[in-house]
């Protein structure tokens, strides 16, 4: 049975992306001028929070938005257009416009503060994803000209060669390898000791996510996988990953770690996982937070 608490974080965006409307510049202009429209301010991808809620600015605040700031259309809810505004030019979050309304909060902290299932997180994720892409893709990848925002921010157009550029999504296979009643958890060098998770890697050219899962586990842990089963997916706006979650069977429990990628890995019995999910604290194993798909994979497997 599913409930709001089971909703995967950053999914369930309530906005209608209005792909027909946004293609018309006059429609976008009218929505920008509409007093009903709402503006979501972000500083380098981080939302403005006040009293545990994301701040959406009313149209009157537009006067205080710097004219150079990029604004992109996100969608419509209840007849109100929602836009994201990039206020990243300020030297620090406390210097950015509207900082006195709340605090620009790193998105991982915001994910805790806003709860796991908030619709707002899906909107914030979309906003962060788009604004980050616009910041980093100002030039045409074909001819090098400066590109221009089109379709309210859903793409960029090159006036030099006519190329269209669309926001990228980087597919990632994340896989919980299992053997009998144990699952494999590990961590990369950028995580502190004990912070273990399912292993993951970017899908490479002309590769399926299932093939990627098999390759990553072989390369990083020396594990031979079979029966790779797709579970669910998650958009992961750090900055633009599409996480595809799998559970798979390992041939045996032998591990050969590629220590450049995985510095610690171990097989953890299902009973241990269940006690950790029930809240037992251990220094040697800390499971990922519920806003991460890895946690949801672990929960699904442990509940089977
Ligand atoms: Zn071009």
Model pLDDT for residues 64-108, shown as the tens digit of each residue: 999 999 999 999 999 999 999 999 999 999 999 999 999 999 999
Segment 201-237, tens digit of pLDDT: 999 999 999 999 999 999 999 999 999 999 999 999 9
Tokens of 130: 């788009």
Distance 168 CA to ligand 1 centre (A): 17
Bond into 239 cis (ω within 30): yes
pLDDT at 4 over 80: no
Cβ neighbours for 44, distance < 8 A, ≥ 6 positions apart: 88, 93
Segment 127-140, tens digit of pLDDT: 999 999 999 999 99
Cβ neighbours for 177, distance < 8 A, ≥ 6 positions apart: 183, 184, 198, 199, 217, 221, 223, 225, 248, 249, 250
As a whole number of angstroms, the distance between CA 275 and CA 254 comes to 25
Tell me the pTM. 0.95
Distance 75 CA to ligand 1 centre (A): 28
pLDDT at 116 over 80: no
Choice between 52 and 218, residue whose per-residue pLDDT is larger: 218
Q: Are 123 and 150 in a shared domain? A: no
For 159-173, b/e burial (b = at least 16 CB within 10 A) is eeeeeebebeeebbb
Q: Are 76 and 88 in a shared domain? A: yes
Cβ neighbours for 30, distance < 8 A, ≥ 6 positions apart: none
Distance 25 CA to ligand 1 centre (A): 21
Q: From its phi and psi, is residue 37 left (phi > 0), alpha (psi between -120 and 50) or beta?
A: beta
pLDDT at 1 over 70: no
Through-space distance between the first and last CA atoms of the chain, rounded to whole angstroms: 14
Per-residue confidence (pLDDT) for residue 60, from 0 to 100 = 86
Domain of residue 272, CATH code: 3.90.79.10
What protein residues have CB closer than 5 angstroms to ion ligand 1?
140, 142-143, 145, 158, 160-161, 163
Range of the domain at 157: 140-167
Q: Are 21 and 85 in a shared domain? A: yes
Using alpha carbons, list the distances in angstroms from residue 128 to 121, 236, 253.
Answer: 10, 10, 40
Residue 59's pLDDT band (cuts 50, 70, 90): confident
Q: Are 162 and 187 in a shared domain? A: no
Q: Are 127 and 229 in a shared domain? A: no
Q: Are 120 and 76 in a shared domain? A: yes
Segment 240-298, tens digit of pLDDT: 999 999 999 999 999 999 999 999 999 999 999 999 999 999 999 999 999 999 999 99
> Residue holding tokens 């269940």?
274
As a whole number of angstroms, the distance between CA 25 and CA 238 comes to 29
Distance 141 CA to ligand 1 centre (A): 7
Distance 170 CA to ligand 1 centre (A): 22
Distance 140 CA to ligand 1 centre (A): 5
Q: Are 286 and 177 in a shared domain? A: yes
Look at residues 136, 157, 181 and tell me which one is the last residue of a structural domain. Answer: 136
Of 213, 182, 195, 227, the residue nearest 295 (C-alpha): 195
Q: Are 103 and 210 in a shared domain? A: no
Which letter does DSSP use for residue 283 in this model? Answer: S
Total domains, the chain? 3
Q: Are 71 and 184 in a shared domain? A: no
Which letter does DSSP use for residue 116 in this model? Answer: S
């Amino acid at each position: 049975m599913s409930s709001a608490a089971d909703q995967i974080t950053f999914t369930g965006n309530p906005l209608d992306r209005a792909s027909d409307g946004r293609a018309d510049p006059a429609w976008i202009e009218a929505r920008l001028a509409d007093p009903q429209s709402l503006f979501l301010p972000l500083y380098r991808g981080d939302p403005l929070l006040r009293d545990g809620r994301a701040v959406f600015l009313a149209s009157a605040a537009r006067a205080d938005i710097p004219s150079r700031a990029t604004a992109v259309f996100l969608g419509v809810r209840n007849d109100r257009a929602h836009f994201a505004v990039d206020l990243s030019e300020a030297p620090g979050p406390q210097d950015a416009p509207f900082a006195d309304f709340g605090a620009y909060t790193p998105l991982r902290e915001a994910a805790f503060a806003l709860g796991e299932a908030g619709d707002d997180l899906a909107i914030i994720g979309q906003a962060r994803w788009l604004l980050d892409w616009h910041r980093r893709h100002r030039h045409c990848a074909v001819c090098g000209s400066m590109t221009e925002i089109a379709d309210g921010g859903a793409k960029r157009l090159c006036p030099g060669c006519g190329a269209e550029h669309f926001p990228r999504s980087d597919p990632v296979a994340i896989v919980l390898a299992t053997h009998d009643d144990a699952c494999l958890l590990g961590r990369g060098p950028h995580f502190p000791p004990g912070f273990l998770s399912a292993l993951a890697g970017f899908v490479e050219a002309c590769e399926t996510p299932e093939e990627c899962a098999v390759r990553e586990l072989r390369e990083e842990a020396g594990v031979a996988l079979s029966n790779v089963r797709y579970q669910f997916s998650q958009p992961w706006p750090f900055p633009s990953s599409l996480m595809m979650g799998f559970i798979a069977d390992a041939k045996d429990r032998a591990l050969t770690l590629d220590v450049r990628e995985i510095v610690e890995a171990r097989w953890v019995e299902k009973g241990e996982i269940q006690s950790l999910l029930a809240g037992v604290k251990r220094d040697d194993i800390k499971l990922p937070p519920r806003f991460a798909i890895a946690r949801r994979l672990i929960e699904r497997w442990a509940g089977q």
